[in-house]
């Protein structure tokens, strides 16, 4: 009997959160004045999206490249950083960790202009690699924190046993600890992907070449028509295309995602 109110509550919350996506999906194929889908139901708005300037394929590729590079950079750096903070003792470790976390308190939009100048000096401004590095920097404080608590949740006997058998630090990390913190890695990777895939402000500042725009910026540019009229149909189609990879990834990895957070909670 106690489960019924909980099921009703969670079901209602699920419907509440799904409603905007369902609305966007229906609006993207429904007839609307001022769009390519004026009469009847169909995929005219998706045709508009597909043929906008460089094409949706190019914008999807740009977003995918930026997101994959951001995930890889974040995983590598946070894995090594979290392992170092959780395993080794060195002078100033706690202060350095607090400084790393303090970056979370700085509004990242205030850092974009200095980063723009820095990337311009390095020749990485208006490049997907430079954009990926900036997005990685914004993800590292939380990612390093999560990887540290993931490593600290692993029993120390595992690493000590491997070292007794002759494994060095990197072999212990690769063969023993990485499989043990796999849920944390997946959680970090999922967060990094969602942030990079959906980010709007960072590429708006750092990318000026229209052929290198990620999909969120392309959709924002496409929605504006002649005389300031908004193409809501094409915009809704863009929202659906943007949301689908995020939904698929989350549904595929949600079990590991929950375990990644629970490992730190159990440690605490």
- Does the pLDDT at position 246 exceed 80? yes
Mean pLDDT over each residue of the chain, to the nearest integer: 83
Domains in the chain, start-ordered, CATH in brackets? 56-267 (1.10.3720.10)
pLDDT of residue 130 exceeding 50: yes
In 3D space, the residue among 193, 220, 194 whose CA is nearest the CA of residue 207 turns out to be: 220
Nearest to 42, CA basis, from 19, 26, 53: 26
Structure-model confidence comparison of residues 110 and 34, the more confident one: 110
Q: Which two tokens stand for residue 165?
A: 């058998």
- pLDDT classification of 266: cutoffs 50, 70, 90: very low
Q: DSSP 3-state assignment of 230?
A: strand
Statement: residue 1 has pLDDT above 60: no
CA distance 166 to 171: 9
Mean pLDDT (whole number) for 31-50: 76
User: Rounded to a whole number, what is the largest CA-CA distance in the chain?
Assistant: 73
Q: What is the pLDDT of residue 13?
A: 82
Tokens of 225: 């028509």
Residue 101's pLDDT is: 86
pTM for the whole thing?
A: 0.85
**CA dist 159 → 80, 188, 221 (Å):** 15, 22, 52
pLDDT at 14: 79
Q: Are 196 and 255 in contact (CB under 8 A)?
A: no
Model pLDDT, residue 192: 93
DSSP structure class, residue 206: H
- The proportion of the chain whose per-residue pLDDT surpasses 70, expressed as a percent, equals 89
Q: pLDDT: is 99 or 170 the higher one?
A: 99
DSSP assignment letter at 108 = G
pLDDT tier for residue 104 given thresholds of 50, 70 and 90: confident
> What sign has the CA pseudo-torsion 262, 263, 267, 268?
negative
Give the closest residue to 40 by CA, choosing from 48, 53, 28, 29. Answer: 29
Using DSSP's 3-state secondary structure scheme, residue 92 falls into coil
Q: What is the pLDDT of residues 55-65, one digit of tens each?
A: 888 999 999 99
pLDDT tens profile 139-152? 999 999 999 988 88
- pLDDT at residue 190 is higher than 60: yes
């Amino acid at each position: 009997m106690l489960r019924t109110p909980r099921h009703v509550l969670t079901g209602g919350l699920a419907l509440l959160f799904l409603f905007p996506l369902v609305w966007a999906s229906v609006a993207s194929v429904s007839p609307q004045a001022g769009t390519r889908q004026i009469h009847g139901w169909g995929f005219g708005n998706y045709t508009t999206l597909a043929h906008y300037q460089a094409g949706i394929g190019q914008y999807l590729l740009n977003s995918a490249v930026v997101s994959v590079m951001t995930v890889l950079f974040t995983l590598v750096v946070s894995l090594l950083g979290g392992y170092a903070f959780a395993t080794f003792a060195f002078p100033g470790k706690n202060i350095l960790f607090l400084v790393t976390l303090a970056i979370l308190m700085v509004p990242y939009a205030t850092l974009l202009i200095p980063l723009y100048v820095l990337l311009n000096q390095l020749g990485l401004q208006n490049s997907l690699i430079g954009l990926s590095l900036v997005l990685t920097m914004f993800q590292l404080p939380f990612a390093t924190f999560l990887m540290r608590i993931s490593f600290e949740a692993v029993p120390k006997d595992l690493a000590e046993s491997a070292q007794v058998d002759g494994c060095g630090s990197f072999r212990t990390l690769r063969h023993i600890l990485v499989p043990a913190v796999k849920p944390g890695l997946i959680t970090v990777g999922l967060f990094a992907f969602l942030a990079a895939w959906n980010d709007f402000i960072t590429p708006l500042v750092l990318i000026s070449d229209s052929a290198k725009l990620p999909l969120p910026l392309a959709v924002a540019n496409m929605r504006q028509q002649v005389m300031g009229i908004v193409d809501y149909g094409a915009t809704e189609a863009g929202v659906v295309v943007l949301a689908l990879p995020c939904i698929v990834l989350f549904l595929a990895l949600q079990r590991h995602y929950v375990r990644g957070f629970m490992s730190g909670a159990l440690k605490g």
